Amino acid sequence: MLFKRVISGILFLPIFYLVTWKLPPVYFTALVAVTVMVGQYEFYRMVRDPRTNPHTVIGIVIGALVTLETYHPLPVGLGKFFMAACVMLIMTVRLFSRRPVDGALDDIAITLTGVFYVAVLFTFQIMILMGADGKQWLVFLYFVIWASDIGAYAIGILFGRNRLYEKVSPKKSIEGFVGALVAAAGMALLCRVWFMLPIPFGISEAIGIALVLAVVGTIGDLVESLLKRASGVKDSGGIIPGHGGILDRMDSMLFAAPVMYYYLIMR
């Protein structure tokens, strides 16, 4: 499992480096759009059961449009109308579907959850990239979250004894969580002297935001574990060897990216 994770990371790094550091933001937006569509498909497939039938195609199309709107924002008034129109469309489609009235609320709620949980949260990465010093901050975010995940996994495997939140994730340990914090802080300090030297970024600030991202990322990980456990599945998909699906790999990032974005806004 660990070997597959390492190989997957090695294969992904050149692509990530190219689209974030070397190419214009439109290429990263395209990568995010594809990732969002795959992630939404995984989500809808994961939660579907005989009683629930989310509008997968409509949800994925709206998710793609949300991604594009993030890259090229509409004026404030039109942006709000766009989101309202998406909600109304999902409700109207369910209204005129052939499915019985029973379960309508679940179908609508799950379809909307797929849009907001996957697409809206994911697109904060585009907003980070398009901000001041965006590529540095986006790479910082990814490296800190990757370090946090690796630290949690490695320390948890080696020393994990006390369960962190057994009701949702029996394998996650307090020791692994501590490993995530330490690894995230260490990576933040490394990034500070590696590629973020032109940005005023003190040691205490680097450690502080890294610890916050590690905590928020862990919550995102636990939330996805909650969704998988509630749906009775082990992984959201199997597209990434050693990790499972897109959501299995990006669950921490879904929660960490909005926090990072608003931290940069208030910084």
Q: What is the mean pLDDT of the chain?
A: 89
First to last CA, the chain: 39
169 alpha carbon, distance to own chain's centre? 18
Query: Per-residue pLDDT tens for 118-133?
Result: 999 999 999 999 998 9
* Per-residue model confidence (pLDDT) at position 248: 86
pLDDT tens-digit series, residues 90-99: 999 999 988 8
Q: How far apart are CA 37 and CA 32, in angstroms?
A: 9
pLDDT category, 6, cuts 50, 70, 90? low
Q: pLDDT tens-digit profile of 204-222?
A: 999 999 999 999 999 999 9
User: Quick one: pLDDT at residue 240?
Assistant: 65
- The reported pTM is 0.90
Confidence (pLDDT) at 8: 60
Q: pLDDT by residue (tens digit) across 166-197?
A: 888 888 899 999 999 999 999 999 999 988 87
Distances (CA, A) of 168 to 141, 221, 228, 232: 26, 10, 9, 12
Residue pair 13/67 in contact (Cβ under 8 Å)? The answer is no
Query: What average pLDDT does this structure show over 65-78?
Result: 89
